[in-house]
């Protein structure tokens, strides 16, 4: 179905150049879902393309608003790009959205309260409770969300969780998992984790999906339509490849991403185990939780 994004957004053209059929929504209708993306990842255009690629495969009409923090100036995006395509959080305080996606950020090793924009982010978390029908907290944002809401800590891993990991489904009967079968393959790329025992001990949280290798994956706050997702279902095929080769070139300690390259050989193509499931997962979120 059609998607409406800020006019002229380069990421949209990038997705279309990849061969993805994206239909543009000229004007919102009564059925259009208003979805906001709070993009705190450093490479703005890459993340924009990731979510446009994912959301545009759904059966819903979507109007996508790109949100930016008022207390943080990105280092890897031009001021022109941010001012032209992004809306300040201050400008949407009185607005309502059907869905909100809050991305991760490569700041896992920093204590939450030491993040320069932590107070504004917490304000957005609270604002979303009253003004958003359903919120997805992705990767670091998932860790930040369960910390701010429930006091659950993140823990440093001995090595980066890196690769494509299989996950089980605890509640296959709920709408989020309609048409999805085990195992769910999901990209992970992080240095910290949440401990399962902390999640199951919190009575306000429900653990919906997990992996023996990569740990907790999807959690839902009971009584709400809010989900905390530790993986990166939105990643493009070559995202992990780029991360791996970047770190190798820098001489950083990095293991081969697990279950990613064909025959575990970085000279071969990656195997796309996750994208079809990601389309269903996000399509179900839009269809059943954002209305």
User: What pLDDT shows up at residue 1?
Assistant: 65
User: What pLDDT shows up at residue 20?
Assistant: 77
Phi (first) and psi of residue 36, to 5 degrees: -110, 140
| Catalytic, out of 60, 61, 139, 221 | 139
Measured distance CA(147)–CA(113) in Å, rounded: 11
User: What pLDDT shows up at residue 21?
Assistant: 73
- Our separate counts of H helices and E strands in the chain read 8, 11
CATH number of 3-237+275-289: 3.40.50.880
| Catalytic site includes residue 122 | no
DSSP state of 258: B
| Catalytic, out of 60, 108, 193, 232 | 232
Instruction: Report CA-CA distances (Å) from 252 to 114, 241, 246.
Output: 25, 15, 9
pLDDT along the chain (291 residues), means of 10: 89 86 84 97 94 93 96 90 95 97 94 97 97 98 98 96 98 97 96 98 98 97 98 96 94 93 96 96 98 94
User: What pLDDT shows up at residue 107?
Assistant: 94
| Catalytic, out of 60, 61, 206, 234 | 234
| Catalytic site includes residue 173 | no
Beta carbons of 62 and 25 less than 8 angstroms apart? yes
- Map residue 24 onto helix, strand or coil: strand
**DSSP track, 166-221:** EEEES-TTSGGGTT--SPEEEEEEEEEE--HHHHHH-TTEEEEEEETTTEEEEEEE
User: What pLDDT shows up at residue 22?
Assistant: 83
User: What pLDDT shows up at residue 27?
Assistant: 83
| Catalytic site includes residue 139 | yes
Measured distance CA(272)–CA(135) in Å, rounded: 26
**Tokens encoding 206:** 């429900």
Tell me the Ramachandran region of residue 223: left when phi exceeds 0, alpha when psi lies from -120 to 50, beta otherwise: left
Kind plus residue range of the DSSP H or E element containing 52: helix 44-55
**Tokens encoding 52:** 């446009």
């Amino acid at each position: 179905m059609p998607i409406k994004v800020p006019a002229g957004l380069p990421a949209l053209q990038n997705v279309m150049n990849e061969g993805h059929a994206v239909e543009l929504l000229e004007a919102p209708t009564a059925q259009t879902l208003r979805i906001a993306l709070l993009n705190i990842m450093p490479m703005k255009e890459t993340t924009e393309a990731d979510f446009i690629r994912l959301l545009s495969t759904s059966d819903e009409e979507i109007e996508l608003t790109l949100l930016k923090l008022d207390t943080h100036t990105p280092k890897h995006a031009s001021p022109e790009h941010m001012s032209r395509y992004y809306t300040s959080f201050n400008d949407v305080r009185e607005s309502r959205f059907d869905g909100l996606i809050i991305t991760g950020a490569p700041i896992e090793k920093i204590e939450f309260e030491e993040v320069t924009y932590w107070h504004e982010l917490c304000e957005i978390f609270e604002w979303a409770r009253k003004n958003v029908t359903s919120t997805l907290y992705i990767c670091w944002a998932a860790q930040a969300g369960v910390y701010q809401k429930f006091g659950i800590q993140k823990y440093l891993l001995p090595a980066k969780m890196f690769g494509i990991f299989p996950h089980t489904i605890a509640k296959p009967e709920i709408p989020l998992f309609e048409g999805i079968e085990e195992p769910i393959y999901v990209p992970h790329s992080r240095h910290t984790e949440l401990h399962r025992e902390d999640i199951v001990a919190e009575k306000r949280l429900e653990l919906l999906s997990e992996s023996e290798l990569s740990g907790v994956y999807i959690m839902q706050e009971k009584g709400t339509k809010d989900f905390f997702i530790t993986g990166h279902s939105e990643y493009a095929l070559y995202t992990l490849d780029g991360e791996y080769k970047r770190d190798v070139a820098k001489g950083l300690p990095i293991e081969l991403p697990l279950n990613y390259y064909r025959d575990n050989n970085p000279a071969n193509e990656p195997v796309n185990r996750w994208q079809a499931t990601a389309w269903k997962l996000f399509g179900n979120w839009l269809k059943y939780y954002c209305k």
